[in-house]
Amino acid sequence: MPSPTLSDVAREAGVSLATASRAFNGSATRTVRPELRDRVRDAAARLGYTPDANAQAMARGRSSALGLVVHDIADPYFSSVAAGLGEAAEAEGLVVTLASTRTDPVREVEVVELLSRQRARAIVLAGGRLDGGRSDAVLTAALTRYVDGGGRVATVGQPLGDLPCVRIANRDGARDLAAALCGLGYRDVVVLRGPVGHQTADERTQGLLEGFAAHGVEVPGERVVTGDFTRDGGYGAATGVLPVLRGRPGTAVVAVNDVMAVGAMAALRDGGLDVPAEVAVAGFDDIATLRDVVPGLTTVRLPLQEIGAAAARLALADDPAQQVVVRGEVVVRASTPPRP
Amino acid sequence: MPSPTLSDVAREAGVSLATASRAFNGSATRTVRPELRDRVRDAAARLGYTPDANAQAMARGRSSALGLVVHDIADPYFSSVAAGLGEAAEAEGLVVTLASTRTDPVREVEVVELLSRQRARAIVLAGGRLDGGRSDAVLTAALTRYVDGGGRVATVGQPLGDLPCVRIANRDGARDLAAALCGLGYRDVVVLRGPVGHQTADERTQGLLEGFAAHGVEVPGERVVTGDFTRDGGYGAATGVLPVLRGRPGTAVVAVNDVMAVGAMAALRDGGLDVPAEVAVAGFDDIATLRDVVPGLTTVRLPLQEIGAAAARLALADDPAQQVVVRGEVVVRASTPPRP
DNA sequence: TTGTATGCGTTATCAT
DNA sequence: ATGATAACGCATACAA
């Protein structure tokens, strides 16, 4: 009834435990006679033997798990990154251990601790801190223990210390988006900037403002509004600026990510405004599930799956700390028609 | 530099290994004097001790991992289920190990094998076989070995043997949806049925046809078309029936899931048809990310997160095999306006 | 209450 | 090429 062990297999095959072990992970130096090897494998098949990864991890001193920490796996941004990371992990023969933080800095540290216990080969931190670095100290401490213990870490989007990081050119992408909007003729702008202290949101906001300014479009402070980095956050933020928008037809509402943008669109419609006739909307990320919405959402396309895969490779590489930077590409769609 | 072990902690605290161990998992019977307990914990903190989950798994005979196998974590259906399962796992102090099959039956078996190696406490199979049971034998064999070894299994959506299962009332939901559409006045229908052999797709298709028939609406075979269970599958299938739809304004195109429905909407628009003025569209699942699309997508709402959580509980419960059945709720939106 | 000793399943280091 | 045997880090049965 219990899983047969390698000893069982060895006995069944009439060989020693050591030989049985070698029959599976046949190293180059320590090879085993083909005949015996087959005998062991047959015995294993007959018994339904399944190696115990925990025992292997202990004996080898390293596990076969790759940790991924996200805010919320139901968020399409993270699930896309997870998909890419999963493929990379599979290619390396690793399993991925998933942990969600729900944007709670405390939970984030717990989660790193959790993955440390698993002796995960590496940890990829997607989605970063939101308290503007206040919790970085504790997190860094936890990560340092982990790294000192032999673990590897990579982050995506949010550089942390000098850890390897898949940097996303948020500022550049946002600047390009702003430029594109200016090129379309937009002069009045509202920015849904997300939560203050959210690094990705901050960078994108900064890029947008810079981009607009470069084209002579100044965005007054009261038209830069905060909100959660979620659909509801976008909805709420857009609802708040409804009065402003009513007074200025042809304004572009730019959210720092797609789900916020979609929430904003809903709020604008609920407020009686026509998108894009009266208000334009743009986002960031180019979430796959949202590519068919009407009007098509103008956004900055990010290769999320590749980003996940790149993060995995970075975390697994034994090179010194590296930085990969991926740049987004502006995709103009119908949500931001030209304004003459 | 390497992670300190419990022995290190014990030495540092001046107690035995056993006491150190008990200081952490203080059982009811085997309690340790508070003073010593604190001394051990202090020593652990001082050294930066982190228990080794692999070693614990081996010593305890059971790991702290919960396996989840999905087709594709980037699919919003699965990512929502994963989110719910993740919360349930967290509540049980378990980590979730994620594995994707990309709908490959071979890979599915590999993945079960992989999770068996991890000695996962339980495996939740979300998203089922697609080859109409042809690969069930191998899969069942793998699962049987796993269960015989002490593992627990639960499936979501697809009963397998008499394993615990979160059943989704696909037929009922589909029947309800069909009834709702009939109530709105639809008499001409096209069903995008997904892939033949995909149990969920099959059940929903069957329910739709039954529901329509119950209201006197027969759907001829040539208006029941196949396609992948994906956005592109919906797009392709809808493209194929474009001629039919052009000839029959007021037809309802019902896809067996939301992402197919969205793909279909795109195809219909690309084909020059107005949705919903000329063609109505409906889906199934009520994917959160799609709730703000315009026109609002008529669908059957499924509590995906709860389903994931329920599956986790079912898999973890030590009760004998159970069945939980969750029923969807029809949500009528603007994509299927009344047809007088 | 605390300590000693054993075992968990595997890999790896020795001999042979 | 193969076989004993010692780790690996922890939990626990048993002894004190």
pLDDT, tens digit, 9 for 90 and up, residues A178-216: 999 999 999 999 999 999 989 999 999 999 999 999 999
Residue closest to B214 by CA, chosen among B240, B239, B177: B177
Q: Which residue is nearest to nucleotide D6 (CA to C1')?
A: A59
The verdict on a CB contact (< 8 Å) between B83 and A97 is no
The verdict on a CB contact (< 8 Å) between B97 and A95 is yes
The verdict on a CB contact (< 8 Å) between A76 and B73 is no
Q: Which nucleotides of C are covered by protein (CB under 7 A)?
A: 1-5, 7-13
The DSSP secondary-structure symbol of A298 reads: B
- Backbone phi, then psi, for B195, in 5-degree steps? -80, 135
Between CA A123 and CA A165 the distance in angstroms is 12
Stated pTM of the model: 0.96
Chain B nearest-CA distance from A214, in A, is: 33
Low-confidence ranges of chain A (pLDDT < 70): 1, 27-30, 132
Low-confidence ranges of chain B (pLDDT < 50): none
Dump pLDDT digits (tens) for B104-160: 989 999 999 999 999 999 999 998 777 767 778 899 999 999 999 999 999 999 888
User: Mean pLDDT score of chain A, rounded to an integer?
Assistant: 95
The H helix count followed by the E strand count for chain A is 13, 12
Tokens of A307: 């980003």
The verdict on a CB contact (< 8 Å) between B79 and A86 is no
Tokens of B97: 């190990």
The pLDDT of residue A2: 77
Nearest by CB: A116 against B50, B55, B57:
B50
Cβ-based contacts of B142 with chain A (< 8 Å): none
| CB A233 within 8 Å of CB A265 | no
CATH 3.40.50.2300 residue window(s) in chain A: 6-168+305-327, 170-301
Nearest by CB: B74 against A83, A263, A269:
A83
Between CA B318 and CA B312 the distance in angstroms is 12
The verdict on a CB contact (< 8 Å) between A54 and B73 is no
Residue closest to B335 by CA, chosen among A294, A64, A81, A50: A294
The verdict on a CB contact (< 8 Å) between B115 and A95 is yes
The pLDDT of residue A1: 64
In this complex, how many residue pairs, one in chain A and one in chain B, have their CB atoms less than 8 Å apart?
A: 178
Cβ-based contacts of B116 with chain A (< 8 Å): 50
Nearest by CB: A266 against B80, B292, B305:
B292
Fold exhibited by the domain A170-301: Rossmann fold (3.40.50)
Residues of chain A (1-40) having a beta carbon less than 7 angstroms from strand C:
2-3, 5-7, 17-18, 21, 24-25, 27, 30
The verdict on a CB contact (< 8 Å) between A76 and B74 is yes
Fold exhibited by the domain A6-168+305-327: Rossmann fold (3.40.50)
The pLDDT of residue A129: 76
- Checking A271-274 for CB contacts under 8 A at 24+ apart, the result is A271/A238, A271/A239, A271/A242, A271/A245, A271/A246, A273/A242, A273/A245, A273/A246
Of all nucleotides in the shown strands, which has a C1' nearest the CA of B61? Answer: C8
Q: Where are the alpha helices (DSSP H) in chain B?
A: 6-13, 17-24, 34-47, 53-60, 76-91, 105-117, 136-148, 170-183, 199-214, 231-240, 242-247, 258-270, 304-316
The DSSP secondary-structure symbol of A78 reads: H
Q: Which nucleotides of D are covered by protein (CB under 7 A)?
A: 1-14
Between CA B185 and CA A180 the distance in angstroms is 45
The pLDDT of residue A282: 98
- Determine the residue among A102, A289, A306, A307 to mutate to test chain B binding: the one whose Cβ has the most chain B Cβ atoms within 10 Å: A289
